[in-house]
């Protein structure tokens, strides 16, 4: 199985901050990488697919980059509604696997 | 508009078989490239991918659970069913189904885009 490791596991940030979350795959996955946002008690919401493509309806403050084994999710200017847990997921090979999550909290 | 909704028992006893149904609308599971997957999340823990079924009936399973899982589709009813045998308290989780669209651009492979609301399943005697 491909292991996905996110860092940090949690972070505290202020409204307006630029936030970057990293996801590393244990082997190369090309651009088969997705990012999801999950708020407490809610289903995950898709943000990014193919490492850098924005899902329809997702604001442009979210961006993704990377290829191979190293990927990043950036939120350009953190807003109150962005405080949530973020997960990366690889879908290059089965079983598809998720990272352990990064919780973004209010400073 | 694509929607998915999971249904099934909220409580099952250890050793029992769990049957969950994902009822969807807004797409057809007979369209080339389309898939529906199942993902679960134990309380306070990360997401875990379980299984995926494609329009052509290709089925993929998590190796760690493969012996216990079966995924099927009923295209006429717009439903995907997941069964999990020999349930254990560690299987207590919220179970989600999700839509995997067809690839529009070859160099931008599609991932899960729309998720159901999830259904919480508790395994306890």
Average pLDDT over residues B57-72: 98
A64 beta partners: A73
Is the per-residue pLDDT at A86 higher than 90? yes
Helices H / strands E in chain B, number of each: 0, 11
Rounded CA Rg of chain A: 13
What is the per-residue pLDDT across A64-82, written as a single tens digit (0 to 9) for each? Answer: 999 999 999 999 999 999 9
The answer, yes or no, to whether residue B16 has pLDDT greater than 90, is yes
Interface A:B, Cβ pairs < 8 A:
65
| Most A-contacting residue of B111, B113, B116, B120 (CB-CB within 10 A), to test interface | B111
| CB-nearest partner of A44 from B47, B48, B62 | B47
What pLDDT was estimated at residue B107?
84
Residues 6 or more apart in contact with residue A42 via CB below 8 angstroms = none
| Predicted confidence band of residue B55 (pLDDT cuts 50, 70, 90) | very high
Please tell me the predicted confidence (pLDDT) of residue B108. Answer: 86
Is the CB of residue A95 less than 8 Å away from at least one CB of chain B? Answer: yes
> What residues of chain B lie within 8 A of the CB of A34, using their CB?
111-112
Beta bridge partners of residue B20, listed in sequence order: B82
| Rama region for A16: left / alpha / beta (φ>0; ψ in -120 to 50; rest) | left
pLDDT recorded at residue B32 = 94
pLDDT in tens, A17-58: 999 999 999 999 999 999 999 999 999 999 999 999 999 999
Query: In the structure, what pLDDT confidence band is assigned to residue B93 with cuts at 50, 70 and 90?
Result: very high
Nearest chain A Cα to B99, which residue? A46
């Amino acid at each position: 199985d491909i292991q996905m490791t996110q860092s940090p596991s949690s972070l505290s940030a202020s409204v307006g901050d630029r936030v970057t979350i990293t996801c590393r795959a244990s082997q190369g996955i090309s651009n088969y990488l997705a990012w999801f946002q999950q708020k407490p008690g809610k289903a995950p919401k898709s943000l990014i697919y193919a490492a850098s493509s924005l899902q329809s309806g997702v604001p442009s403050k979210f961006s993704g980059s990377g290829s191979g084994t190293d990927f990043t999710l950036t939120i350009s200017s953190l807003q109150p509604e962005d405080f949530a847990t973020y997960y990366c997921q690889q879908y290059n090979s089965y079983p598809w696997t998720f990272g352990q999550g990064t919780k973004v909290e209010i400073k | 508009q694509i929607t998915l909704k999971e249904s099934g028992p909220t409580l099952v006893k250890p050793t029992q078989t769990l049957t969950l149904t994902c009822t969807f609308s807004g797409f057809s599971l007979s369209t080339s490239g389309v898939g529906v997957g199942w993902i679960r999340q134990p309380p306070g823990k990360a997401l875990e991918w379980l299984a995926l079924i494609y329009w052509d009936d290709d089925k993929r399973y998590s190796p760690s659970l493969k012996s216990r899982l079966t995924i099927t589709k009923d295209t006429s009813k717009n439903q995907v069913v997941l069964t999990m045998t020999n349930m254990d308290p560690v299987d207590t989780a919220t179970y989600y189904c999700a839509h995997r669209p067809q690839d529009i651009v070859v160099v931008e492979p599609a991932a899960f885009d729309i998720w159901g609301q999830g259904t919480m399943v508790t395994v306890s005697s």
